[in-house]
Amino acid sequence: MRGLLPLLLLLGLALATTWYLQRVETQLATSRPTEQPAINAEGWDVDILVIDALGQPSYRLLSPHAVEATEGGGTDLEQPVLTVYEQDRVPADSRADHGWLSSDLSLLRLEGNVNLVRAPATDGPTTTLDTPWLLVYPQLNRAETEAAVVITAPGQRLEGVGMRADLQREHYQLLSQVRGQHEVTTR
């Protein structure tokens, strides 16, 4: 019996340690933030995926090359591609020659041949937006520019200067010098 007592004490200690470590691990898992801040670092084939509070992808930013910005913090991006995901919707893609991402991931500045393509959720038309530069607020699903904008869809073309967009609702507001063309198609 004396030889069994130390073995039982070690077994009890192992069980208590396991129980305690499981509690600590559970507390750590619930305290982890759902979004990580952007890292200001150089890199090749950068892939930033932001997850929302429900554990679903909110948006993804890809860039073949990124470097720490020389001014204002953040990250300079080459040929960035931003994909915005929405529940039960086809994602929207934005492409540009260059970009800049703030350290807190709240602002993305796209520059040079900015092209935003929104595929329809159903059998509707694909909408394309072209502008020289665009400020995108990915967490808010909004975008804006003061530059010239061209929005096209099959049979439609809108031009203007300045724009605010609610990307989730697909609502584009051209701010000035608005011109449009609409072609009626018959089936």
Q: Tell the burial category of 93 from Cβ atoms under 10 Å away from its Cβ (0-12, 13-18, 19+).
A: middle
Other CB atoms within 10 A of residue 8 CB = 9
The band of 42, judged by pLDDT with boundaries at 50, 70 and 90, is low
| 53-80 burial: b if 16+ Cβ within 10 Å, else e | eeeeebbbbbbeebeebeeeebbbbeeb
pLDDT higher than 60, residue 63: yes
Give, rounded to a whole angstrom, the gap between the first and last alpha carbons of the chain.
93
Strands 57-68 and 43-51, sheet pairing: antiparallel
The band of 91, judged by pLDDT with boundaries at 50, 70 and 90, is confident
The band of 60, judged by pLDDT with boundaries at 50, 70 and 90, is confident
The band of 104, judged by pLDDT with boundaries at 50, 70 and 90, is confident
Question: What mean pLDDT comes out for the span 35-45?
Answer: 60
pLDDT higher than 90, residue 81: yes
Q: Parse the chain into domains and list their residue ranges.
A: 1-32, 43-182
Cα distance between residue 115 and residue 119, in whole Å = 13
Q: pLDDT > 70: what percent of the chain?
A: 84
pLDDT higher than 70, residue 34: no
DSSP run (H or E) holding 7: helix 4-31
Lowest mean pLDDT across 4-18, 75-89, 157-171: 4-18
pLDDT higher than 70, residue 172: yes
The band of 182, judged by pLDDT with boundaries at 50, 70 and 90, is confident
8 A C-beta contact, residue 48 and residue 40? no
pLDDT higher than 50, residue 38: no
Cα distance between residue 58 and residue 83, in whole Å = 9
Q: In terms of CATH architecture, what is 43-182?
A: Sandwich (2.60)
pTM for this prediction: 0.71
Cα distance between residue 173 and residue 153, in whole Å = 16
Model confidence over 125-150: pLDDT tens digits? 788 999 999 999 988 889 999 999 99
Lookup: tokens for 177? 């010098």
